[in-house]
Structure 1
Amino acid sequence: MPLATTRRAGLVDQVIDQMRSAITTGEWRVGERIPTEPELVTALGVGRNTVREAVRALAHAGLLEVRQGDGTFVRATSELSGAVKRLVGSELRDVLEVRRTLEVEGARLAASARTEFELDELNRLIEARDEARAAKQWDRFVQIDADFHHLIVVASRNKLLAELHAGLTEAIKASIEILDNTPAHAGKINHRGLLSAIQDKDADRAVKEAGGFLAEALSYLDDHPE
């Protein structure tokens, strides 16, 4: 879908909005190179300086990555995701601690409140997650993993808990990507123990499983602060 031609007023802001829309709607996908500067100039009907300012702003926000000599690539789907992908140390710790708070309680409640339909869907997500990892489809893997954790929270039947968790979707996805690229966790987290506990309606075991890998991640951060 081609970008719409901009109006005369507020050109930079309009270009930023249209480029952000191309990213968030998936027209420009994460990891892909966006159209070249001349192509954007032609498509948008604006000058090179306007395009450059828009690209610079989106790169600063973390949505785009400019690679000298190679082009400009989509780095994240939102400012939050772009920021979290750069997180290290205490900031990443904050995300993981919030995840632990929400997801452990979500798992505890889901062990009692989940439906058979939700259980079937959780099983389907685990299988799809394994398939994505085996195929090295990393973006799909991260999305499925995030969907799995969110469905558990939804299955808690606590609407506020689910809304809070949904509001952190991009941060959660980014933290999943970071964890899966650390030597201590790469390929080792399968969540089948968590699924089994929820299936068995064992709340205590669900709490242990939901908090276990996040506690290990926090411990890893303690040992590798940089």
Structure 2
Amino acid sequence: MTLSTSHRQPLADEITAKLRAMIHSGEWPLQQRIPSEPELMAKLGVSRGTLREAVKALAHSGMLEVRRGDGTYVRATSEMSGAARRMYQDHTEEHILEVRVGLDTQAARLAARHATDDDVSALRALLAERDAAWHAADYAAWARADWGFHERVAQASRNPLLHELYVSFGDVFHDDLLKQHVRAGFEGLPHEGHDTLVDAIEARDGDAAVASVNRNLNSCSEWLGA
């Protein structure tokens, strides 16, 4: 017997929630293609129509992107991040940087208060990865490591809302880095806002952490105005 729309909707909602949880947990990383329809239908035990309804809902929220002939990709880890990412398309780089100033400085101050030894070790490892990639001229890996560093500082703030807001900058931040590295005189391994920031976080010095971030973002602002 064919299920009516009234019966199918709760199932679609359930599958949407399951897909959302897979994305949010990191099972499907950002920018990566999710499994094919046949794989997901078998894994979730649902029909193609129900699965497509769930995917459509998450695509509408900005979490997924359906690319014809290529597959479906993860675009954000939550509806809030997806909505924010769409909003950024309507604003200038200067406006985005001004918002980042608020998020970065607060993340730095909170990280100086709450970061664990594991956080500090992870931050230093990301900087080492960033340095190696820059010297190897692997600029895609350099940009990923640089973004990963800043995202880990936000995570170390232990404020999940701030972290989620910060993650929504991922695409914008990554794309901007890849644009900047080709500009003459660009320094891809700035000490401010990176090494000095980790030192301040490890020393539990919130003021020094904020000052390091401000110096780095002021430099970014100068590049945008150049």
Deviation at 1:21, TM superposition (A): 1.6
| Identical residues among aligned pairs (%) | 34
Change (3 A) 1:109 1:13: closer
Q: Which amino acid aligns with 1:142?
A: W
Aligned match of 1:126: 127
| Superposition CA RMSD, Å | 4.3
> Residue 66 of structure 1 contacts residue 72 of structure 1 at CA under 8 Å; is this kept in 2?
yes
CA positional deviation for 1:206: 6.2
CA–CA distance in structure 2, aligned partners of residues 114 and 22 of structure 1: 27
Q: Could you tell me how far 1:27 is from its partner in structure 2?
A: 2.2
Gaps of 5+ in 1: 1-6
CA distance, structure 2, for counterparts of residue 126 and residue 143 of structure 1: 9
Structure 1 pair 182/211, CA: closer, same or farther in 2 (3 Å)?
farther
Report the equivalent of 1:58: 58
Matching residue's letter, 1:182: K
Residues 82-114 of structure 1: CA distance to partner in whole angstroms, max 9, x if unpaired? Answer: 334442353765553233134346668989x89
1:110–1:198 Cα contact (<8 Å) kept: no
Task: Report how far residue 164 of structure 1 moved.
Answer: 6.3
Q: Paired residue for 2:213? A: 210
Deviates more, 1:177-186 or 1:196-205: 196-205
Q: 1:164 to 1:99 in 2, by over 3 A?
A: farther
After TM superposition, give the deviation of residue 34 of structure 1 in Å: 2.0
Taking structure 1 as reference, are residues 184 and 28 closer, same or farther at Cα in structure 2, changes over 3 Å only?
A: closer
Matches of 1:110 and 1:66, distance apart in 2 = 36
Q: Residues 46-85 of structure 1: matches in 2 within 5 Å? A: 46-85=46-85
Match of residue 151, structure 2, among 146, 149, 171 = 146
Distance 1:43 1:90, change over 3 A: same
**2-structure distance, mates of 1:66, 1:45:** 21
Match in the other structure for 2:101: 100
Query: The residue matched to 1:166 in structure 2 has which SS?
Result: helix
- Equivalent pairs counted in the alignment come to 208
Unaligned stretches of 5+ in structure 2?
Answer: 1-6
Name the CA shift for 1:61/1:110 in 2 (closer, same or farther; >3 Å): closer
Q: CA deviation at 1:119?
A: 10
Match of 2:12 in 1: 12
In the alignment, which residue of structure 1 is the partner of 2:180?
183
Secondary structure (helix, strand or coil) at the match of 1:190 reads: coil
Q: Does 1:166 align with 2:163?
A: yes
Q: In structure 2, how many angstroms separate the alpha carbons of the residues matched to 1:188 and 1:92?
A: 19
Write the distance in 2 (CA, Å) between the matches of 1:180 and 1:206. 22
Name the CA shift for 1:48/1:207 in 2 (closer, same or farther; >3 Å): closer
- Residue identity opposite 1:143 in structure 2: G
Q: Which amino acid aligns with 2:152?
A: D
Deviation at 1:125, TM superposition (A): 3.8
